[in-house]
Amino acid sequence: MDDLGASFWFKMAGLFVVGAIVLFIFLIIFLKAIYAWGFLAAFLALAVLALGAGWFVDRRNAGVT
Residue 65: the pLDDT is 64
The more confident residue out of 62 and 28 is 28
pLDDT-based confidence at 57, cuts 50/70/90? very high
Residue 2: the pLDDT is 63
Which residues, 6+ apart, have CB-to-CB distance to 42 below 8 Å?
A: 30, 33, 34
- State mean pLDDT over 7-28: 95
Structural contact between residues 45 and 37, judged by C-beta atoms closer than 8 angstroms: yes
* pTM for this entry: 0.63
- State mean pLDDT over 20-32: 93
